[in-house]
Structure 1
Amino acid sequence: MLAIRWIMSLLFNIQMYLAMAVMAVVFAPWALFSREGAFAACHTYCRWVIFTARLMLGLKVEVRGTPPTDEVVIAAKHQSFFDILVIFHAIPRGKFIMKRELIYAPFLGQYAQRIGCVFVDRGKRGAAIAKMKADVAKSATDPGQLVIYPQGTRVNPGVVKPYKVGSGLLYEQLGQPCVPVATNIGVFWPKRGVLRKPGTCVVHFLPRIEPGLPVPVFMKQLEQAIEDTSNALMAEAGFTAP
């Protein structure tokens, strides 16, 4: 049974990346002339991956809470590639804070630029934060939902990793509400490896944190909301922390 699951996971991964290439090429003429075309391509791709994950892997998706449609900062738990797709699919005009290396990823990097994602260098901390804030200010003319991962990277279930202040600085700079997002996706779709497990992946959009809080207070509320709910979702999925 495990061998069959591994083979199906491998086939799923292959078709997932092939579909990315095919859709990127098919939508390219529209995307080149209109950002709406780029958003359409990305949403279509997300729908495809979610559909094939259910069909091939028995991996279902459940979105809880109310995904925002207005201009907000979304601060999300990040456990795997799949949570990116589920979050983007749930909101109308998502744009992500992404590590700069991804700008060179075939298809993904080009479409990410087209929809207004902000690329950051994770090297020199002070310079990286200053540039991120400047780039976000430039992209403010493109309305949408700005998604940031407060821990800065994918984090496996059960691993404790501190929250970085960048999300707090953006919350302060933009003066927008922040919507925390919790998930249990890493239980089924790990950070690394081929094998995916069947089950129900949950992405939970939590009550928004209104603007105006001091950054330290905001960061404490954000971390508590995301971590408490993510831990509860993972426990619901049968995960026990080591």
Structure 2
Amino acid sequence: MTTVGLTLRSTVFWIGFALSILVYSLLSPIQFLLPEKINRKIVRSWGVLNLWWLKVTCNLTYQIQGLENLPKQAVVIMANHQSTFETLILPQLFGRVTWVLKRELLFIPFFGWGLIHTKPIAINRKDGRSSVAQIKQVGKEKLAEGISIAIFPEGTRIGATEHVPYKAGGGILATYAEVPVVPIAHNAGFFWPRHSFIKYPGVVTVSIGPLIETQGLSATEVTKKTQDWIEAERQRLPRSR
């Protein structure tokens, strides 16, 4: 497809994406009166809508590998971070899930208002020690309530072929709360690159790894095992459009 065609399709997608944020954000005041179960369905439906819109406008779909590895218990989810795609797909895979994210995201008009209803762990990344304590305390409470915690251990979106050391927050939380880690690898960055207006047609592969048990392991060891699996799986997944 020509660059002009890709740009036109992506423009249509972004218009629909922005409208969906606006419409759902208008529901935000009402959501404060609704029970958690209903709010999670609303948030999940936003992801379903935009994944469908992505397919219709940009011919970009996805496939899931390793569904048998989805746990029944609350876990720490660690996934590589390349685009906005993974924020749409993860709530579809886990029933009750929230995020560790930078608190600045909550201040974004419309988008941040809706994000509040996922009850995330919003941290100040400039205050490292306080952030780790917050992740441990609040994260353990949420895990005890049956809510899985999703963390992007790279700390920010990176390019599809980039590699960075993983931050220890996910491993620290998992060992502190004594819950397993579910590693997830994907290749969304080849189709929805970070900071890219254009979305490319194709099939994103999302791979769910086996549980990484944390008993008897340090946070460093858990983080390394998670990074080893995700990085090896990234190499196995298709690396081009």
TM-score (norm 1): 0.91
State how far apart, in whole Å, the 2-side matches of 1:138 and 1:218 are.
Answer: 20
- Which one of the candidate residues 96, 107, 122 is aligned to 1:93? 96
Cα 1:68–1:85 change in 2 (3 A) is farther
Q: How does 1:169-180 map to 2 (within 5 A)?
A: 169-180=172-183
State how far apart, in whole Å, the 2-side matches of 1:7 and 1:72 are.
Answer: 40
Superposed CA deviations along residues 159-196 of structure 1, whole A, max 9, x for unmatched, are 12110111110111111111000000000001102011
Q: Could you tell me whether the CA contact under 8 Å between 1:5 and 1:195 is conserved in 2?
A: yes
Q: Which residue of 2 aligns with 1:134?
A: 137
Cα 1:205–1:94 change in 2 (3 A) is same
Q: Which residue of 1 aligns with 2:43?
A: 42
Q: Which residue of 2 aligns with 1:147?
A: 150
Cα 1:69–1:9 change in 2 (3 A) is farther
Q: Which residue of 1 aligns with 2:222?
A: 218
Q: What is the CA distance between 1:94 and its match in structure 2?
A: 1.3
Cα 1:205–1:31 change in 2 (3 A) is farther
Q: Which residue of 2 aligns with 1:194?
A: 197
Q: Which residue of 2 aligns with 1:33?
A: 34
Q: Which residue of 1 aligns with 2:80?
A: 77
Q: What is the CA distance between 1:136 and its match in structure 2?
A: 1.9
2:64 counterpart letter in structure 1: V
Q: Which residue of 1 aligns with 2:188?
A: 185
State how far apart, in whole Å, the 2-side matches of 1:158 and 1:17 are.
Answer: 28
State how far apart, in whole Å, the 1-side matches of 2:195 and 2:5 are.
Answer: 19
1:193 counterpart letter in structure 2: S
- Structure 2, unaligned runs of 5 or more: none
Q: Which residue of 2 aligns with 1:52?
A: 53
Q: Could you tell me whether the CA contact under 8 Å between 1:8 and 1:57 is conserved in 2?
A: yes
Question: CA RMSD of the aligned region, Å?
Answer: 1.8
Q: Which residue of 2 aligns with 1:165?
A: 168
Q: What is the CA distance between 1:23 and its match in structure 2?
A: 2.5
SS at match of 2:184: strand
- Structure 1, unaligned runs of 5 or more: none
State how far apart, in whole Å, the 2-side matches of 1:88 and 1:33 are.
Answer: 19
State how far apart, in whole Å, the 2-side matches of 1:74 and 1:114 are.
Answer: 19
Q: What is the CA distance between 1:38 and its match in structure 2?
A: 1.7
State how far apart, in whole Å, the 1-side matches of 2:65 and 2:54 are.
Answer: 19
Q: Could you tell me whether the CA contact under 8 Å between 2:77 and 2:182 is conserved in 1?
A: yes
Q: What is the CA distance between 1:26 and its match in structure 2?
A: 4.2
Q: What is the CA distance between 1:140 and its match in structure 2?
A: 4.2
- The 10-residue stretch of structure 1 (104-113 or 177-186) with the greater mean CA deviation from structure 2: 104-113
State how far apart, in whole Å, the 2-side matches of 1:17 and 1:195 are.
Answer: 15
State how far apart, in whole Å, the 1-side matches of 2:157 and 2:55 are.
Answer: 22
Q: What is the CA distance between 1:61 and its match in structure 2?
A: 1.2
Identity of matched residues, %: 25
Q: What is the CA distance between 1:106 and its match in structure 2?
A: 2.6
Q: Could you tell me whether the CA contact under 8 Å between 2:28 and 2:114 is conserved in 1?
A: no
Superposed CA deviations along residues 35-56 of structure 1, whole A, max 9, x for unmatched, are 2222111111111111011111
TM-score (norm 2): 0.91
